[in-house]
Structure 1
């Protein structure tokens, strides 16, 4: 077994998208090889309706897949295939843009006005860039949760983990997407396929991830006279942790426990030509997509 080193720990940065939605971006529009096959990860979390209600009106996508995971509030969606629906707390939507789709996503808060969710973009290989668009909504009740003896809880959204298989499938990046809670003070190791790129995103509590280069992998120090815990390099809310190669990651939960997403996928390793919501392999393909948008041929007829 080999522990994955922590290559980088960084905070998600505040930005604005759609018609003025305030969110935090953990990565995106930078080096697409960094977390290949993943292109972008947004954390849209707001307490004030005026920061999100304008939403994400009609916009195009081509050449990617998106996974939207809602924790609180709702997201109403519609697309050019004629699909409409509402994602509630705990629900997931997987959308394959393929050859081209127009869609909109309009968030609404819960009774307290709070809205929280995540969107992950997965790249499509060249062989699937122009595949037929499709989507899948999954209710939170369909997502299996595994609870370990030490209180660790893992929701398996995509992929296989601890004998459970997530309900979202057919994604080209073949990801593993886990929602993990580790109780206060618990140290836990999670297996990840060696050939996958992997990252964690902390969104509640705090934790330290073991680094293969750290002396003896020490993460935790307890004060001799009391219960207070001091953790070296403690990472908290809205923190991205990017891992190197190996087949496991080890996390030490902080004093209030930690909840994070643990996501990995098989790299595609192809050229990326990227403009906003359209991701192709070459500039010529990107220019063709723009031309299709201008002349009304972006949406292909169903076969």
Structure 2
């Protein structure tokens, strides 16, 4: 496994005072088609109780995955959905979505979840929005004999040397995106061949990931770090005493320059200005 770049999540605040850890790159696009990874992880409700009141999006895809606790999602399309532990949700916002994400009243044990943003190609940024979630659907997972368990969140996945493959409930992400949650027990390991993708990234949310760098030196990526891998190298994931948990994000670059302002991701400043005007004029719709 060859690590090309490594980043560390930074503390941030969003919504109504929600404390998060964030990885973002809207300028150099070093993990295109992915733009941002937010992690919420706290057992103190004051870190997330304010939630994310009504706000818009245009030109971006949001992918939400909950591991603990939950949110209630509402949008102008009429969707009212509780997103709980193990659930995923995808919105290809296109020309516009207005939604809110508020903590569920019955989720009393803290909150751990992620929201991932993907860019949309210019040709799709003004199409009608698309909403999907995994509620009431099979949650596909696959384990090997070495202590590795892979939970398919989006796209198709399988371990090397295992003829079985699993397909997530969510498909069709921009840039051929595919996302999985990989957990390793103490000294667990698993191998994935991801050479069909140009972009392969890993966010470690628990424990440590061990690898040998291009100089043959043993390195460690710790909790809260995000690494970009060489997709042409077979990816072997190895944990030590602490085990590990990580999100694996794969896809193909869209290779288009963007302009981002808050929840809007377009290709020109003029398109951003139009998005602001459209929202202010109520053209995105309202949550009933």
TM over 0.5: yes
State whether residues 60 and 265 of structure 2, in contact with CA within 8 Å, keep that contact through their aligned partners in structure 1.
yes
Quick one: distance in 2 between partners of 1:111 and 1:93?
18
Structure 1: gaps of 5 or more residues: 220-232
Q: Which moved more, 1:193-202 or 1:274-283?
A: 193-202
Stretches of structure 2 that go unaligned for 5 or more consecutive residues are 159-164
Paired residue secondary structure (2:116): strand
Matched, 1:238 2:227: no
Contact 1:72 1:117 in 2 (8 A): yes
Aligned residue number for residue 139 of structure 1 = 135
What is the aligned partner in structure 2 of residue 273 from structure 1? 259
Return the TM-score normalized by structure 2: 0.91
- Which residue among 114, 124, 148 is the counterpart of 1:128? 124
Q: Supply the distance in 1 between the matched residues of 2:54 and 2:208 (Cα, whole angstroms).
A: 37
1:160, CA displacement in angstroms? 1.3
Which of the numbers 269, 272, 279 marks the counterpart of 1:293? 279
SS at 1:169's partner residue? coil
Give secondary structure in 2 for the equivalent of 1:104. Answer: strand
* Deviates most, 166-175 or 137-146: 137-146
Structure number with greater Rg is 1
Establish whether residue 257 from structure 1 lines up as the match of residue 253 from structure 2: no
Is 106-115 or 139-148 further displaced after alignment? 106-115
Distance 1:140-1:241 versus aligned 2 partners, 3 A rule: farther
1:193: Cα distance to partner? 2.6
What do residues 26-60 of structure 1 show as CA deviations (whole Å, max 9, x unaligned)?
Answer: 224x4352111011100011111111010100001
Residue 275 to residue 99, structure 1, CA distance change in 2 (3 Å): same
1:167 aligns with 2:169: yes
Q: 1:173 to 1:140 in 2, by over 3 A?
A: farther
Aligned to 2:184: 182
The CA distance in 2 between the partners of 1:275 and 1:65, in whole Å, is: 15
Question: Aligned to 2:103, which of 90, 107, 129?
Answer: 107
DSSP 3-state at the match of 2:179: strand
Aligned-pair CA distance for 1:112: 4.9
Q: Is the 8 A contact 2:59 2:120 kept in 1?
A: yes
Aligned length: 280
CA RMSD in angstroms, aligned pairs only: 2.0
Confirm or deny: 8 A CA contact 1:90 1:140 kept in the other structure: no
1:198 maps to 200
Counterpart CA distance in 2 for 1:93 and 1:200 is 20
CA contact (8 A) 1:210 1:249 kept: no
> So what's the TM-score if we normalise by structure 1?
0.86
Per the alignment, do residues 108 and 238 of structure 1 end up closer, same or farther by CA in structure 2, a change over 3 Å counting? farther
Q: Aligned equivalents of 1:270 and 1:160: distance in 2?
A: 25
1:66 match: secondary structure: strand
1:140 shift after superposition = 7.7
- How far apart are 1:109 and its partner, in Å? 7.3
Partners of 1:209 and 1:131 lie apart in 2 by 42
